[in-house]
Amino acid sequence: MRVVTLTNIVDVLSVAVGGMRVRRRVESLMAASALLSVSSCMTVSASVVPTAAGGVPEAVEKVRVSALGVPDGARELGLVEAHSAVAPLERIVDEVKQRAAAMGANLICIDKMATRYEWINSMCGNQPCRYEAGTLSVLGHAYRFDKESR
Amino acid sequence: MKRATWIFVVALVAGCGTVQTSRVMTGSSQPAYGGNVSVLMDGVALPRNAVEVALVSSRGTGTMAKLEDVIAGLQAEAGSLGCDCVARVKFDQGATIATATGVCLKTH
């Protein structure tokens, strides 16, 4: 039985396409992929700006998300932002919901979703390498909406 | 010949580009819509009586990091949720990645 390792794959690819330069490039790409895969489990950053006194933290499952507007009588509690270079939209919005819930909000109105790109300089083994990362940011307002506040 | 075969195999396995889509439900899902999903860029007025269904995003890499592929991904994701329109679409182009986000709406 033959065990295929990352080094084997790099060797095969290098031999197939030819040369040390290609080998370095393949190594760089694989290192960047590995870095992104590992970091995908954890990196969603978020921040909150309260604009009013909050209340008792709400359960995350009770936080509703909307992009078109808020109902009359909803009380604004603050701004919430979350972003990540690797996580999908679901995870980023989930983080926004958690932060809003902690403020006591039960409704989020998404104001903006945007992606910013940057080149990351890193070391792949002992060779410098460079890859592009796109950071998706979601910004919204957190609200408390109760039937009594209508 | 051997080298050419390897290049072909590597290109086949690695692929030249991908489009990945993602969604966050904000309303109730509808039966899939098979028609043309209209695209309204950010800043364009929303259609009347639009019902919000989800937030959608599409991300293209490599050779698919371009407007047509990324918007097609957004339309496909919206159509699968029963939406006939994607509004507030924002498209961000990088050098090797492109991303679009929008709000999936049912207008009929």
Q: Is A139 left (phi over 0), alpha (psi -120 to 50) or beta?
A: beta
The pTM for the full model equals: 0.76
Bridge partners, residue A112, by sequence: A139
Fold of A42-149: Translation Initiation Factor IF3 (3.30.110)
Mean pLDDT for the stretch of residues B79-106: 96
Do A67 and B90 lie within an 8 Å CB cutoff?
no
Bridge partners, residue A107, by sequence: A64, A143
Residue B69 has pLDDT above 70, yes or no: yes
Task: State whether the Cα torsion B91-A90-B60-A46 is positive or negative.
Answer: positive
Do A17 and B92 lie within an 8 Å CB cutoff?
no
Residue B1 has pLDDT above 50, yes or no: no
Do B52 and A13 lie within an 8 Å CB cutoff?
no
The mean pLDDT of chain B is 89
Report d(CA B53, CA A65) in Å as an integer. Answer: 10
Residues B62/A29, Cβ–Cβ less than 8 Å: no
pLDDT of residue A6: 41
Nearest-CB residue to B10 (from A13, A66, A88):
A13
Residue A106, φ and ψ in degrees, nearest 5: -130, 10
Helix, coil or strand: residue B35: coil
Position A38 confidence tier, pLDDT thresholds 50, 70, 90: very low
Mean pLDDT for the stretch of residues B86-97: 96
Residue A55 has pLDDT above 70, yes or no: yes
Amino acid at A141: H
pLDDT of residue B93: 96
Residue B75 has pLDDT above 90, yes or no: yes
Do B92 and A132 lie within an 8 Å CB cutoff?
no
Do B57 and A116 lie within an 8 Å CB cutoff?
no
pLDDT of residue A2: 40
Q: What token pair was written down for A91?
A: 């995870």
pLDDT of residue B61: 95
Report d(CA A15, CA B27) in Å as an integer. Answer: 52
Do A17 and B94 lie within an 8 Å CB cutoff?
no
Do B22 and A89 lie within an 8 Å CB cutoff?
yes
Residues A112/A82, Cβ–Cβ less than 8 Å: no
CA–CA min distance B54, chain A (Å): 8
Encode pLDDT of A83-108 as tens digits: 999 899 999 999 999 999 999 999 99
pLDDT of residue B34: 93
Q: What token pair was written down for A26?
A: 């393949």
Amino acid at A101: A
Mean pLDDT for the stretch of residues B38-59: 94
Q: Which of B41, B44, B57, B97 to mutate to test the interface with A (most CBs of A within 10 A)?
A: B57
Q: Which of A11, A22, A117 to mutate to test the interface with B (most CBs of B within 10 A)?
A: A117
Position B108 confidence tier, pLDDT thresholds 50, 70, 90: confident
Q: So what's the ipTM on this one? A: 0.81
As to burial, measured by CB atoms within 10 angstroms (0-12 exposed, 13-18 middle, 19+ buried), residue B34 is exposed
Helix, coil or strand: residue A143: strand
Do A134 and B59 lie within an 8 Å CB cutoff?
yes
Report d(CA A93, CA A14) in Å as an integer. Answer: 41
CA–CA min distance B82, chain A (Å): 17
Residue A29 has pLDDT above 90, yes or no: no
User: β-pairing, A45-50 with B85-93?
Assistant: unpaired
Mean pLDDT for the stretch of residues A57-67: 93
Helices vs strands, H then E, count in chain B: 2, 5
- Closest residue of chain B to A68, computed from CA coordinates: B52
B-chain residues near A18 (CB < 8 A): 3
